[in-house]
Amino acid sequence: MIKIGIIGGSGMDDPNLLDSYEKVDVMTPYGHPSSSITQGTISGIPIAILARHGKKHQIMPTNVNNRANIWALKHIGCSHIIATTAVGSLKEEVKPGDLVLIDQFIDRTTKRHKTFYDKDRVCHIPMAEPFCDKLRNILIQTSQELMINTHPKGTVVTVEGPRFSTKAESNMFRMWGADIINMSTVPEVVLAREAGLCYASVAMSTDYDCWRESTEAVTFEEVLRVMKENSEKVKRLILTAIPRIAHLECKCKEDINSSLI
């Protein structure tokens, strides 16, 4: 049975989007998730919404309990996850307000639990294609139909945070071939694959990272302003895509079967 977990914000944490919703608290072997989980349905499809940084955005990136978040969504029956994330742009063509359907990541985090299997067993989960192609393609096609300015692929570099990059770092990430930068995708996407969940991420460019000399240095206030202006397009994309995911089958759930030692 399909049940879609939605992680993040971007206006999707509005319980009024759901039919007959309820909030549930889940305790996991890894502690509490970032927030209670709001459950209901959209177009008859079961939905579970979790706020990655807490309901009041009080949890900094390093302290997000990613293992608890993914475990909780799996525990209540989620089969798919659509994550939303604010990102900085590392490319001129990825303008503030654009969406990116990420297909690759570069991991620059240093302090996070990145696997469920850190005792007794070792997991070598394949990550050559870290995001579910079938789920991504539904989101790509839907964004095209809605005429939302969306980049169908992109590489995100996830940094530890909570600080923003130096210009030297920002330019280095550009030389590495990264398109956007954030603080949240890793290890969330990795844990989702270990849990056998199909995972796709809708990234919203809120600013040009500090590499761009002609742009003033990014501030969190500016990030919030652009996020607010563009949250409606993210909401519209996800709401339109949800009914199309109802019969989606892929092999994401099978990778774990051949990855454990």
> What is the model's pLDDT at position 251?
86
The confidence score (pLDDT) of residue 215 equals: 64
Would you tell me how many other CB atoms lie within 10 Å of the CB of residue 186? Answer: 24
Contact call for residues 69 and 48 (beta carbons, < 8 A): no
- Contact of 106 with 183, CB cutoff 8 Å: no
**Tens-digit pLDDT profile for residues 71-108:** 999 999 999 999 999 999 999 999 999 999 999 999 99
What residues form DSSP beta bridges with 150?
99
- pLDDT for res 56: 86
Taking CA atoms, 72 is separated from 1, 66, 123, 179, 190, in Å, by 17, 10, 20, 31, 15
**E strand residue ranges, 25-160:** 37-42, 45-50, 80-89, 99-101, 104-108, 150-151, 155-159
The string of pLDDT tens digits covering residues 113-167 is: 999 999 999 999 999 999 999 999 999 999 999 999 999 999 999 999 999 999 9
Mean model confidence pLDDT for the chain:
92
Q: How far is CA 190 from CA 125, 143, 252, in A?
A: 8, 25, 11
- Is 14 catalytic? The answer is no
- The predicted pLDDT at position 216 comes to 65
Taking 80 as the threshold, does the pLDDT of residue 224 lie above it?
no
Separation between Cα atoms, residue 134 and residue 136, nearest integer Å: 5
The per-residue pLDDT for 12 is 65
**pLDDT tens profile 37-63:** 999 999 999 999 999 999 888 999 999
In degrees, rounded to 5, the angle at the alpha carbon of residue 81 between the alpha carbons of residues 44 and 178 is 140
Write down all domains in the chain, each with its CATH number in brackets. 4-258 (3.40.50.1580)
Cβ neighbours of residue 227 closer than 8 Å, sequence gap 6 or more? 9, 10, 86, 204, 206
Which of 36, 43, 39, 2 is closest to 21 using CA atoms? Answer: 39
Active site residue 209: yes
Q: Higher confidence at residue 19 or residue 76?
A: 76
Whole-angstrom CA distances from 251 to 50, 133, 211, 244 are: 24, 10, 38, 18
Instruction: List C-alpha distances in Å: 33 to 36, 111, 187, 212.
Output: 7, 18, 15, 36
Q: How confident is the model at residue 9 (pLDDT cuts 50, 70, 90)?
A: low
For residue range 152-194, list pLDDT tens digits in order. Answer: 999 999 999 999 999 999 999 999 999 999 999 999 999 999 9
Would you say 15 and 21 are in contact if contact means Cβ atoms under 8 Å apart? Answer: yes
Residue 5's DSSP bridge partners are 48, 81
The answer on pLDDT for 14 being more than 80 is no
Catalytic one among 13, 98, 179, 207? Answer: 207
Report the pLDDT value the prediction gives residue 249, as an integer from 0 to 100.
82
* Contact present, 114 and 140 (Cβ < 8 Å): no
